[in-house]
């Protein structure tokens, strides 16, 4: 076989090639593929058997050892960094999700290109229960607002256990009902209040129900607070500033310290 020589002129610069829209889309596609591969490789974490999990009695206490083994074989724990999307509205429902660590938001994207936060979920909350038995796709999105660990159980395994274990099925229904009740109650409390009452409600929600502390770092932005309580971002900023001037709270960036919880509670109740 003869040898092939490639000859170039020294210092000759290659002619620039016009980049087409196809090239751009192809580059974006490759980039997304790389990101997805890295994401899937880095997120699943090691976990103990379900029978030793501290959350077992939260839902799986009525399962026998065979049922627990089936759930254990079909589950995985996934770490999501703050800001990462856990599930997207319209995605097929293939797993049952509950939150072991962190905080997540459940939200819908409306036609006005704005998000409407439905709920903020804390550890031990079942974040996929609103859709898993009534629909084939999610009707809302889920995103981490703190670094979060989610336990994901394959839906086929879960349905198999439900068909065999009536007590477990009833427990699932109770959890679903409780989640719906909490969302309805929260929306009612927020909607019946004026602007100052809504901000006070959210601050007390984080202090009393999430962190159990009057000093905490807000896990959401001012814009996300506005989405949650159906206000403008400008109003959220203005009222937080008023609370600070009134010595009700102290603000340092995202750090909030409630100085006068009784007065904040009064503002919340009076709305």
- What is the number of other CB atoms lying within 10 angstroms of the CB of residue 80? 22
From the list 89, 252, 87, 73, the residue with the least C-alpha distance to 161 is: 73
Residue 223 confidence (pLDDT): 92
Are residues 141 and 117 in contact, defined by beta-carbon separation less than 8 angstroms?
no
Residue 9 confidence (pLDDT): 41
* Structure tokens belonging to residue 159: 């349905």
Q: Which residue has the tokens 């980049």?
A: 19
Residue 114 confidence (pLDDT): 77
**Sequence-distant (≥ 6) Cβ neighbours of residue 189 within 8 angstroms:** 201
Are residues 109 and 115 in contact, defined by beta-carbon separation less than 8 angstroms?
yes
* Structural domains of the chain sorted by starting position, each given as residue range(s) with its CATH number in brackets: 45-176 (2.60.120.10), 193-270 (1.10.10.10)
Residue 180 confidence (pLDDT): 87
154-185 b/e (C-beta count within 10 Å ≥ 16 → b): bbebbeebbeebeebeebbeebbeebeeeeee
The alpha carbon dihedral of 174, 176, 181, 186 has a sign of positive
* Structure tokens belonging to residue 244: 């600070």
User: Tens-of-pLDDT digits for all 271 residues of the chain?
Assistant: 444 333 334 344 444 455 555 454 444 433 444 444 344 433 777 667 787 877 778 888 889 999 999 999 999 999 999 999 999 999 999 999 989 999 999 999 877 777 889 999 999 898 988 888 877 889 999 999 999 999 999 999 999 999 999 999 999 989 888 888 988 998 899 999 999 999 999 999 999 999 999 999 999 999 999 989 989 999 999 999 999 999 999 999 999 999 999 999 999 998 7
Residue 18 confidence (pLDDT): 57
Tell me the CA distances in angstroms from 189 to 65, 121, 209, 218, one per residue in order: 42, 17, 15, 20
From the list 270, 224, 211, the residue with the least C-alpha distance to 119 is: 224
Give the Cα separation of 53 and 68 in Å (integer).
Answer: 11
Q: Which segments within the chain are labelled E, that is strand? A: 44-45, 75-80, 85-87, 95-101, 104-109, 115-121, 141-144, 148-154, 215-217, 249-252, 255-258
Are residues 153 and 71 in contact, defined by beta-carbon separation less than 8 angstroms?
yes
Q: How far is CA 194 from its chain centroid?
A: 27
């Amino acid at each position: 076989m003869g040898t092939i020589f490639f000859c170039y002129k020294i210092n000759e610069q290659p002619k620039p090639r016009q980049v087409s829209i196809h090239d751009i889309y192809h580059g974006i596609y490759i980039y997304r593929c790389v990101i997805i591969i890295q994401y899937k490789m880095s997120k699943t974490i090691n976990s103990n058997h379900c029978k030793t999990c501290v959350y077992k009695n939260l839902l799986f206490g009525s399962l026998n050892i065979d049922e627990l083994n089936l759930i254990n074989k079909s589950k995985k724990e996934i770490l999501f960094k703050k800001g990462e999307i856990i599930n997207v509205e319209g995605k097929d429902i293939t797993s049952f999700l509950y939150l072991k660590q962190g905080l997540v938001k459940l939200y819908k994207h409306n036609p006005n290109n704005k998000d409407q936060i439905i709920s903020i979920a804390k550890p031990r909350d079942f974040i996929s229960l609103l859709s898993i038995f009534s629909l084939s796709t999610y009707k809302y999105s889920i995103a981490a607002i703190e670094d979060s660990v989610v336990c994901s159980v394959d839906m086929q395994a879960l349905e198999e256990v439900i068909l065999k274990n009536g007590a477990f099925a009833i427990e699932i229904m109770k959890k679903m009902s409780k989640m719906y009740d909490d969302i309805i109650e929260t929306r009612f409390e927020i909607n019946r209040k004026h602007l100052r009452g809504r901000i006070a409600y959210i601050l007390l929600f984080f202090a009393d129900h999430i962190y159990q502390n009057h000093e905490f770092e807000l896990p959401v932005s001012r814009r996300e607070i506005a989405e949650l309580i159906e206000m403008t971002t400008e109003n959220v900023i203005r009222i937080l500033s008023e609370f600070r001037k009134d010595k009700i709270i102290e603000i340092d960036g995202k750090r909030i310290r409630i100085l006068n919880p009784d007065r904040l509670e009064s503002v919340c109740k009076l709305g």
